[in-house]
């Protein structure tokens, strides 16, 4: 059982509130995460208070800056066990979320949590750069999110092709955020983005985190995203 007051109190500090359905859904999510983790490698974080802070609160931090309170489309890239996309969907259930990961077992976990919580969303078992070349996904999203997936310069090539002009790519990073942002300046420009927010913060347990919000200001040239090997070995 997670500590509801811990989650509520920390979220109140960033201006986010949850109703009792939301809190119960987070509790059920934590319970399933620990249970599934015994058989499928989903997370190293399994203590209830750590799950609340390092997974749930951290995933909801974007809501301090971005009000996702409309029927908008969000794609969570390299979602793993659902972070940050699933907490964002629990907090803002009107969002239309696509969970993308190249590993099917992780998506099976997300489907199980969705089914159990009565939430609707789509899982996409593909690589982000693959769907970035497909018109069913390319420039279709108001938001792309990603946490702990790749260095920012490569990550921008995964994410920005999926975002509509006017939409946002929200990247959650650790203490390397400032350095990664510096190295990604060229990629952001080439892919049609502009940084609108960079913030360094500390989780209640003392861990250093950062958030980078990039607005899509022009269409991504059609030659991007390139094949994965090129993105990783020759980032923009
Ligand atoms: N975002 C989650 C989190 O913060 O806990 C999971 C992070 S985990 C370290 C990285 C995940 O990204 C893995 O599940 C991996 O399969 C996925 N991944 C890495 N590169 C990807 C790509 N190009 N397309 C789709 N998924 C990718």
pLDDT-based confidence at residue 70 (cuts at 50, 70, 90) = confident
CA distances from 161 to 30, 61, 133, 134, 158 (A): 32, 24, 8, 10, 7
85 within ligand 1 shell (Cβ under 6 A): no
Stretch 163-175: mean pLDDT, rounded? 98
Whether residue 23 has pLDDT greater than 80: yes
Å from CA of 193 to ligand 1 middle: 22
Residue bearing the CA closest to ligand 1, atom 11? 78
| pLDDT of 123 | 98
Residue bearing the CA closest to ligand 1, atom 15? 78
Whether residue 69 has pLDDT greater than 80: no
Å from CA of 14 to ligand 1 middle: 26
Å from CA of 57 to ligand 1 middle: 19
What number does the ligand 1 atom closest to the CA of 126 have?
25
CA distances from 204 to 50, 145, 197, 210 (A): 10, 22, 21, 14
CA distances from 153 to 33, 93, 150, 170 (A): 30, 31, 8, 13
- The answer to whether 142 touches 164, Cβ cutoff 8 Å, is yes
Q: Considering the chain, what is the average pLDDT of its residues?
A: 97
pLDDT-based confidence at residue 217 (cuts at 50, 70, 90) = very high
Whether residue 35 has pLDDT greater than 90: yes
Whether residue 196 has pLDDT greater than 80: yes
192 within ligand 1 shell (Cβ under 6 A): no
| pLDDT of 212 | 98
Stretch 5-23: mean pLDDT, rounded? 96
| pLDDT of 20 | 95
Stretch 160-172: mean pLDDT, rounded? 98
140 within ligand 1 shell (Cβ under 6 A): no
92 within ligand 1 shell (Cβ under 6 A): no
Q: In what order do the strands lie in the sheet with 122-124?
A: 122-124, 96-100, 73-77, 141-147, 163-173, 208-216, 193-202
CA distances from 35 to 14, 69, 71, 154, 208 (A): 30, 31, 32, 33, 28
101-132 pLDDT, tens per residue?
A: 999 999 999 999 999 999 999 999 999 999 99
Share of the chain above pLDDT 70, in %: 100
Å from CA of 83 to ligand 1 middle: 9
130-140 pLDDT, tens per residue?
A: 999 999 999 99
| pLDDT of 104 | 95
User: Which residue among 149, 170, 230 is best mutated to probe the pocket of ligand 1, counting the most ligand atoms within 8 A of its Cβ?
Assistant: 149
Stretch 201-214: mean pLDDT, rounded? 96
């Amino acid at each position: 059982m997670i500590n509801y007051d811990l989650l509520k109190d920390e979220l109140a500090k960033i201006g986010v509130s949850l109703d009792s359905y939301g809190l119960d859904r987070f509790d059920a999510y934590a319970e399933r995460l620990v249970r599934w983790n015994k058989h499928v490698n989903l997370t190293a974080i399994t203590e209830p208070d750590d799950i609340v802070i390092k997974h749930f609160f951290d995933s909801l931090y974007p809501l301090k800056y971005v009000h996702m309170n409309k029927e908008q489309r969000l794609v969570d890239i390299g979602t793993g066990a659902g972070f940050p996309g699933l907490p964002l969907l629990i907090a803002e259930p009107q969002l239309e979320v696509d969970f993308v990961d190249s590993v099917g077992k992780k998506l099976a976990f997300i489907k199980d949590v969705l089914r159990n919580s009565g939430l609707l969303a789509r899982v996409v078992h593909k690589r982000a750069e693959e769907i970035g070349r497909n018109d069913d996904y390319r420039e279709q999203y108001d938001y792309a999110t990603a946490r702990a997936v790749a260095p920012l310069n490569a990550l921008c090539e995964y994410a920005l092709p999926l975002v509509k002009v006017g939409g946002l790519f929200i990247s959650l990073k650790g203490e390397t955020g400032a350095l990664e942002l510096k190295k990604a300046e060229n990629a952001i420009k080439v892919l049609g983005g502009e940084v609108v927010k960079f913030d360094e913060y500390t989780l209640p347990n003392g861990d250093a985190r950062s958030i980078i919000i990039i607005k899509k200001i022009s269409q991504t040239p059609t030659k991007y995203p390139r094949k994965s090997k090129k993105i990783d070995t020759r980032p923009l």
